Structure 1
């Protein structure tokens, strides 16, 4: 850590003096006789140690629910930065937070315009406390943003890894296992980077112009994408392989869609090697990629699988949801007609 920050903590004040010790002992005996034994202190969640190691390596600090609450009550108030997409921030956020989206594409390089915006939000005082949060402990965005803030010279960078859902749970407003509402038609599809698994075939099909191991959805050369989410343990997903293969063939044979609409699948919770094996064993015709951290799945609101999203590229290069298809897709020709209808109604980029 490049700077020092005293993080508020809570705890009983120490009793001083002999009389105080005697009274404390008597009080303890009395309470032990009247009350059941106190519960042991809660163990930190399983992911905390890994997050703490990452924080130490990258030069920032972690804070928990109690520390966040105490820090937000201090004056001058720290900068509270929400790094989720703007549509999630607009739906709701921790009071007082400002928004600047970070995503997986920011891991290697940070766009100068985004760095400038971050500097504007935090201000010129490098010693000002900056608290960063995203969606939940599964979300990687807050760690990426915290690392860049440290690199920019801010000395009191704090990450609240429990995120928006952790704050809601600690405030008692929702159950700890509650799921947020999913993204809808008209929302932006989550930004993400995917690792290329079939380097030649997938690059050619998607029109990727660089040879880097990973790519962003924005790099795909297409006006529209049909993105299917599946899981190897999902029985319905396994049944859909043949239907999606046929849909891929139908799209490639349609003069109005060939080249304009590309198709890909995301293995929710799957490792790269598992996706490669699944594609080979099931003879999947279109590119598959791993959403091993379930980030895209969580950002979409954890929809029931299988599910597919028809998305279009906007003039700004982002992808916006045109339609969603859940469960068994049925007659692929009917799906093709539905896709064409959605495309015909879509506004011009």
Structure 2
């Protein structure tokens, strides 16, 4: 799964990335990465956006978690412009990436949105998906607790 390096220095720094070009999720400097597959046109994604923002804030405001868990979004079928509109409309502070040609969406099996994946980075450099679910989550705190347990951070 290749994503374009963020243009924003803040987003690049948040993810711990350097250089330009493409990167893969395991290159993100974190113990676990939460990936939200969304679409600007998905009413469920729009409804879920404030809760996902709360999840991001809960992670970032906790000194023990902010360097261990990162959050990104991938806009299924969305162009850079559409991802930008979603980011601005819903005041999303974490990095969002376009998947305008549905390449990533198809790679994941044409899943419905929103869809959440938790990727754990192992100490030996490998990674594994430790959780995936379709639809909205029960709330930021219960979801964060599940991420901590599934990724072995708790």
TM beyond 0.5: yes
Does residue 220 of structure 1 match 2:28?
yes
Work out whether residues 118 and 131 of structure 2, in 8 Å CA contact, stay in contact via their aligned partners in 1: yes
Q: For residue 95 of structure 2, what is the aligned residue in structure 1?
A: 287
For each residue in 1:24-62, what CA deviation from the matched residue of structure 2 results, as whole angstroms up to 9, or x when unmatched? Answer: xxxxxxxxxxxxxxxxxxxxxxxxxxxxxxxxxxxxxxx
1:297·1:303 contact (CA, 8 Å) conserved in 2? yes
Determine which of 54, 58, 64 is the counterpart of 1:246.
54
Equivalents in 2 of 1:232, 1:281: separation in Å?
10
Map 1:3-152 onto structure 2 (within 5 A): none
1:240 alignment partner, SS class: helix
- The CA distance in 2 between the partners of 1:221 and 1:279, in whole Å, is 22
Distance in 1, Cα, partners of 2:35 & 2:82? 18
In the superposition, relative to structure 1, how do residues 259 and 345 fare at CA in structure 2: closer, same or farther (>3 Å)? closer
Aligned length: 154
Q: Residue 302 of structure 1 is aligned with which of 82, 85, 110?
A: 110
Task: Name the counterpart of 2:82.
Answer: 274
The answer on 1:195 being equivalent to 2:8 is no
User: 1:206 matched to which residue of 2?
Assistant: 15
CA distance, structure 1, for counterparts of residue 6 and residue 102 of structure 2: 18
Question: C-alpha deviations, 1:269-321, integer Å up to 9, x for none?
Answer: 11122212221222111110011221221111112211100111235534311
Please give the alpha-carbon distance, in whole angstroms, between the structure 1 residues aligned to 2:89 and 2:108: 28
Q: Which has the higher strand share?
A: 2
Ranges in structure 1 where 5+ consecutive residues have no aligned partner: 1-191
1:313 alignment partner in structure 2: 121
Checking the alignment, whether the CA contact within 8 Å between 2:119 and 2:129 is kept in structure 1 is yes
SS in 1 for 2:144: helix
Asked if the contact 2:6–2:12 (Cα under 8 Å) also holds between the matched residues in 1, the reply is no
Q: Which residue of 2 aligns with 1:261?
A: 69
- Aligned with 2:151: secondary structure? helix
SS of the residue aligned with 1:302? coil
> Shift of the alpha carbon at 1:197?
4.3
Q: Distance in 1 between matches of 2:8 and 2:22?
A: 10
C-alpha distance in 2 between matches for 1:299 and 1:318: 19
* CA drift at 1:235: 0.8
Which protein has greater RCO, CA pairs closer than 8 Å, 6+ apart?
Answer: 2
CA distance in 1, matches of 2:123, 2:104: 22
* Secondary structure of 1:344 counterpart: coil
Cα gap change, 1:321/1:283 in structure 2, threshold over 3 Å: closer, same or farther? same
User: What's the counterpart of residue 341 of structure 1?
Assistant: 149
Aligned to 1:324, the other structure's residue is in SS state: strand
Q: Greater CA radius of gyration, 1 or 2?
A: 1
TM-score (norm 2): 0.89
After superposition, the CA RMSD in angstroms is: 1.9
Scaled by the length of structure 1, the TM-score of the pair is 0.41
Change (3 A) 1:318 1:266: farther
